[in-house]
Structure 1
Amino acid sequence: MNELPRGYWCECWTQNLSKDQQPTLHASFDAYSAAQADRWIAIALRTISPALDTSASEQAWEWLYEGRIDTRRALLRAEPCSVTVDQADTRITWTVRPVLFLPLAHRQGSELPACAYDFKPQQTD
């Protein structure tokens, strides 16, 4: 049996702290290496840093200059990581978790399990 490909599941969440709201998922990304996973966060932080207030911008650049290497090391040890920046009443959190990627069945290339034929597309008027 082939070994399942390892990778990282990355997400970006925000939460309005003043309204005590539940976090909201804004983006997700499947990375196939630790470098690709932390680069996703780095690109996001560099992109939004000009729009952040001074404190949040300092949090972002502190991770970019100092925390990023710790994140990469943790990911290489298959440990989940997160990076958080607080902008006014909003908390932005990027999470990265090690995962195994399961292959998807190809409709033309192989026999699908019987349950695949139970799905009936919804008819629209």
Structure 2
Amino acid sequence: MWCEAVTAAESEPGAEKRCDGYAAASPEAAIRWLRTGARAVASSLGPLQAGYVLDHWVHGPGSLQDYVRLRRGRPCALTVYRNGHRLTWRARPVRFVHLAAVNGRRPCTATAQVGEVRWP
């Protein structure tokens, strides 16, 4: 599974910037990674969005539904909005993970702490 967190200004819909990436060994690991990132930013969201992220997606049926999607070979995503920016966590099945630059580092040295998401 290839997982990534991308951010973009709502005024520039096609200009995404990858702020984190993770090669998960299983759908379970992918969902854990997405949950960790979502939980990390939930406190910076408004009450309605934070409630949805925590109650529906992190602790509720949303992550289970996305787990089922991944098991069936389909991608999943969770998007939140704040101050004119969009942050999306995505996971998708892959056969081969291409080397990817993350956080401005060269591909071979691109490591991030679990849950580390750079948010404007």
Q: One fold, TM greater than 0.5?
A: yes
Kindly indicate which of the two structures has a greater share of residues assigned to strand: 1
| Structure 1 residue aligned with 2:84 | 89
1:53 Cα shift? 1.8
The unaligned stretches of length 5 or more in structure 2 are 98-120
Bigger Rg, which one: 1
In 2, the alpha carbon distance for the partners of 1:58 and 1:93 equals 17
- Aligned-residue CA RMSD (Å): 1.5
TM-score between both structures, scaled by the size of structure 2: 0.71
| Structure 2 residue aligned with 1:23 | 16
The unaligned stretches of length 5 or more in structure 1 are 1-7, 103-125
Give the % identical residues. 28
TM-score between both structures, scaled by the size of structure 1: 0.69
Number of corresponding residues: 94
Please, which of 3, 22, 27 is the counterpart of residue 10 of structure 1? Answer: 3
- CA deviation profile, 1:14-54 (whole Å, cap 9, x unmatched): 1111x325111101000000000010010111122112222
The amino acid that maps onto 1:42 is R
1:91 Cα shift? 0.9
In 2, the alpha carbon distance for the partners of 1:63 and 1:76 equals 17
Structure 1 segments of 4+ aligned residues over 4 angstroms from their partners: none
1:96 Cα shift? 0.7
